[in-house]
Amino acid sequence: MGCGSSQTEASELQKRNHSQKTNISSPDSSELADKQKLYQRGNYLLEKQKYEQAITLFDRVLEIDPEFVDAYYSKAIVAFEQNKIEEAKKLLDITLEKQPDHIYALNEAGCLMIKKKKFSEALQYLEKAYAKQKDFSEVNYSLAYALSNLNRKEESLKYYDLAIKEDQQQKHFYINKASTLIELNKHEEALKCVSEALKLDQNYLEALITQGKIYKAIKQFGKLHSVSLTILKLDNENKLAQQMKQEAEQNLNIQSTDQQSDTNNSIEDKFNLAQKFVSEKQILQARKVIDQILNQDPLHYQALKLMVQVQIELKEYTDALNVLNKLLNQQPKDIILLKDKAFILEKLNRLEEALKCHTLILDEQAMLEKNEKTDSNQNLNKQSILDDPQAYILKGKLLYSQEKFQEALSYLEEGLIKYQKNIEIMQLLAQNYKALKNEKEALNIYQQVLEIDKFNDCSNFEKGVIYYQQKLYQQALESLNQIKNTEFNELYYYYFGVCYYNLEDYKNAIKSMLNYVKVGKKELKQAYFILGGAYLFLLKFDEAEESYLNCIKQDQKNAEAHYQLANVYKQDKQIEEAKKYYELAHNIEPYNEIYRSSYETFMNEKNYLVEYSNSLLFTLTTLIGICQLNQKSQDYDQQKNERYQAMLLLLETNQKQKFLQIENHFEQIKQLIAKSYDMSQTVIDDTMFPIIQFWYNQKICKKKKDINEFLSSIINTVRLLVNMNSNKILNIINSDRSLNNKYCTEFAEKSEHELFKKRSGCFGLIDGIKILGFLLKYHKEFNKDHMAFQELISTKYQIEEIQLFHESYYIQ
């Protein structure tokens, strides 16, 4: 009801995502360099504190590109997190040597110096970072911290303020500023900073401890005592809180709760103590004492009334209502009890009972007034029960809950005539107009409320929701930004997230939604769905996968989440996982045309790639595997035949695919290469051996001539080639482009081999011949010590580049 009553447009947003993601407009992941993808995944593992796995990926990035500066920086962060300070320093030095203005490295180097308490050296790094970028919150915060420790405290406040202005969600910014203000004896300002931190996290121990230090400094021992108890409730062994409590009790000359409420004390003394605790908002201590009273006297009327106050403070509304009903049996006309009951019934959304209770209150008040009036006022208007805005408010809420919107409007408009500018009545009117789809009038009323109270969070929130529903996302953000209390409504961060998402500001969408999922419950499914979409647009596949899986946990039958997760896996080249989730989406909604066609298309594409891969693998393995043999040995032909048979068997085992024999396959492949490149067959034999030797030297095959490891290395190479070029391969297969290498097409037609019958398999044969020819032509490249076969093919010469070397393939 009221400000919490706004309903999100989940189905509309899902529909929008559905249509957008069907044909994702973000860059194709195959266009990402392999090193960038590895680096992103490494950072994801770093974020998840999987440090060893992260380091492995960063090292692989640096093997591919030793000049990839960010990898050194990320390794430094890992070292820093593991408290390997000297190692972190070395890595940051390398980063800054390669890129002197690397702002993140400058900031981390400053932080590292701060950790070593070398504040002057820290300042040198941080000032360079600040000169490079003045609106980087972490740099400003680190700069402020260093300046404060160099006793330049007034100057440090400027940078704390800049850091907070740029990022208001970092609670430690406020607390370190507060600590500096305490040292400057600016205690009131320090308390304001602590208050802001506690708005972000009411259980933030550092903030509560700092608050306690301030109360101690300004000798407010009552508040110091209260704070110390709050800290001990969170951490009952906190030494500092125990000292605060002891000091406060000494100065207040009070005993501990247990001592004060000792069983020897009278009930009256205990009751007075409980009242004192309630007035000081020490609710749990009050409850403990009240329980002791009620154990001695279960019907103690005043203790029961005080218990109701305690239960209301603790939001134990059902228990409070039970106690109130007992009390009202004794005193049915007690107005204070009736008001408490009406309040609780409203909180429990039992509005009809609340309205009846409120009517009883007004009747009782009218009776009291009547008894006090002279005879000239005996004809008191019985309609006085409506001479209180609360009656209109309660009945308005009741009618709204019963969806009697038109009746509610008439009744509330009458109330507004009587109680002009009553904000609660105005907001209920706006809610009813909104329910009747009259958003224009609802906006008008919310604007009137804001003219009365420009900081009214409820009206700013509801305006933002209406603008969002009208797809006026920028105006929605402007209204939401006016809200002062971020805890005002659970959906505060959610609406920020969906607005940013629809404005394609994915970084801010992610930031807002991550805040929402920490506290939210109502829209968790949709929040995780939006997070998945935002991460997918930014090509952060691990984060997208995690978000969609969280969405599916919220709703196992969410077909769209399954479908989008399949898109993630497809872009991330996790083919089997993609197949699984496309199939699941299709099974959940079998009549959805998009899911059906996407699943069928994917399966066709998968089949094309499998056919292409097997053909390519068959072509490469046959020639390279047999070239490992010593052709000068007397039983070379027998060895060749045995090796061929063995390789086919292993290929079938690994690929779960039948590979039929081709007579004189080895010789025919050599002839195809020779014809395609105008080479003689002897050149092929002579140049293939050093390539194979290099392959062995690089320990891709750890045991000499070990056919299992040899085959694994070939399979891994082909898998990498196909994954990196899958979209390009599919585009060629699905295009009208002819299979121009006449030697290969003639060979495929004559052999009638199962692998070559389809266009995709024939392309595998052609590309296998191209790659083999390429290896022969450029075999000298393999003499570089740091370059292995798999890396050379996957990073330096991709399939389209091989085509450029051999355009003659396509000349008839």
For the stretch 207-231, pLDDT in tens is 999 999 999 999 888 788 888 888 9
Predicted confidence (pLDDT) at residue 234 exceeds the cutoff of 90 = no
**How far is residue 358's CA from residue 355's CA, in Å, rounded to a whole number?**
5
- pLDDT-above-90 percentage for the chain: 25
Confidence of residue 557 (pLDDT cuts 50, 70, 90): very high
Helix, strand or coil, per DSSP, at residue 3: helix
DSSP category for residue 780: G
Confidence of residue 751 (pLDDT cuts 50, 70, 90): confident
pLDDT at 9: 40
Lowest mean pLDDT among 28-37, 234-243, 459-468, 628-637: 28-37
pLDDT at 496: 93
Burial 557-588 (b: 16+ CB within 10 A, else e): ebbbbbbbbbbbbbbbbbbebbbebbbbbbeb
Contacts of 24 by beta carbon, 8 Å cutoff, 6+ apart: 536, 537, 567, 571
Fold of the CATH domain 29-254: 1.25.40
Cα dist from 695 to 561, 626, 647, 711, 790, whole Å: 44, 14, 18, 12, 9
Lowest mean pLDDT among 172-176, 539-543, 696-700, 762-766: 696-700
* Tally of CB atoms within 10 A around 156: 22
Burial 275-300 (b: 16+ CB within 10 A, else e): bebbeeebbebbbbbbebbbeeeeeb
Cα dist from 623 to 333, 653, 752, 804, whole Å: 101, 19, 20, 23
Confidence of residue 608 (pLDDT cuts 50, 70, 90): confident
| Of residues 666 and 132, more confidently modeled | 132
Q: What is the mean pLDDT of the chain?
A: 79
**How far is residue 505's CA from residue 495's CA, in Å, rounded to a whole number?**
13
Report pLDDT digits (tens) over 495-530.
999 999 999 999 999 999 999 998 888 899 999 999
Predicted confidence (pLDDT) at residue 173 exceeds the cutoff of 90 = yes
pLDDT at 5: 37
When pLDDT is averaged across residues 577-587 and rounded to a whole number, the result is 89
Structure tokens at 472: 């006026």
Lowest mean pLDDT among 19-28, 240-249, 317-326, 381-390: 19-28
pLDDT at 31: 36
Confidence of residue 473 (pLDDT cuts 50, 70, 90): very high
pLDDT at 619: 85
Contact 219, 199 (CB under 8 A): no
pLDDT at 692: 55
Q: What is the CA radius of gyration of the chain?
A: 37
Any idea where the domains of the chain sit in the sequence? Answer: 29-254, 255-314, 601-810
Structure tokens at 392: 């209109």
pLDDT at 378: 40
Predicted confidence (pLDDT) at residue 18 exceeds the cutoff of 60 = no
With left for phi above 0 and alpha for psi between -120 and 50, is residue 43 left, alpha or beta?
alpha
Confidence of residue 262 (pLDDT cuts 50, 70, 90): low
**How far is residue 495's CA from residue 480's CA, in Å, rounded to a whole number?**
8
Confidence of residue 151 (pLDDT cuts 50, 70, 90): very high
Contact 288, 276 (CB under 8 A): no
pLDDT at 93: 93
Confidence of residue 736 (pLDDT cuts 50, 70, 90): confident
Predicted confidence (pLDDT) at residue 189 exceeds the cutoff of 90 = yes
Helix or strand run (H / E) with residue 550: helix 541-554
Structure tokens at 517: 């999922």
Confidence of residue 391 (pLDDT cuts 50, 70, 90): confident
**How far is residue 323's CA from residue 308's CA, in Å, rounded to a whole number?**
7
Q: % helix / strand / coil in the chain, to the nearest 5?
A: 75, 0, 25
pLDDT at 23: 29
User: Interior CA angle at 796 toward 793 and 797, to 5°?
Assistant: 55
**How far is residue 231's CA from residue 211's CA, in Å, rounded to a whole number?**
11
Predicted confidence (pLDDT) at residue 791 exceeds the cutoff of 90 = no
When pLDDT is averaged across residues 142-165 and rounded to a whole number, the result is 93
Entry field: residues in the chain: 812
Confidence of residue 252 (pLDDT cuts 50, 70, 90): low
When pLDDT is averaged across residues 470-489 and rounded to a whole number, the result is 87
CA 120 to chain CA centroid, Å, is: 37
Confidence of residue 681 (pLDDT cuts 50, 70, 90): low
Structure tokens at 53: 């796995």
**How far is residue 413's CA from residue 24's CA, in Å, rounded to a whole number?**
50
Cα dist from 643 to 622, 626, 636, 703, 754, whole Å: 9, 7, 10, 16, 21
Contacts of 362 by beta carbon, 8 Å cutoff, 6+ apart: 384, 385, 387, 388, 391
| Of residues 162 and 688, more confidently modeled | 162
| Of residues 424 and 478, more confidently modeled | 478
Its pTM stands at: 0.62
pLDDT at 752: 78
Predicted confidence (pLDDT) at residue 24 exceeds the cutoff of 60 = no
**How far is residue 729's CA from residue 573's CA, in Å, rounded to a whole number?**
14
Structure tokens at 665: 């396959």
pLDDT at 77: 92
pLDDT at 532: 94
Q: Residue 419: how many CA atoms within 13 Å on its side-chain side?
A: 16
Contacts 24+ apart (CB under 8 A), 62-65: 63/791, 64/34, 64/35, 64/38, 64/791, 64/795, 65/35
Contacts of 391 by beta carbon, 8 Å cutoff, 6+ apart: 355, 358, 359, 362, 385
Closest CA to 122 of 163, 94, 156: 156
Predicted confidence (pLDDT) at residue 633 exceeds the cutoff of 90 = no
Q: Residue 733: how many CA atoms within 13 Å on its side-chain side?
A: 26
pLDDT at 25: 28
| Of residues 317 and 495, more confidently modeled | 495
Report pLDDT digits (tens) over 275-287.
888 887 778 778 8
Contact 219, 193 (CB under 8 A): no
pLDDT at 500: 94
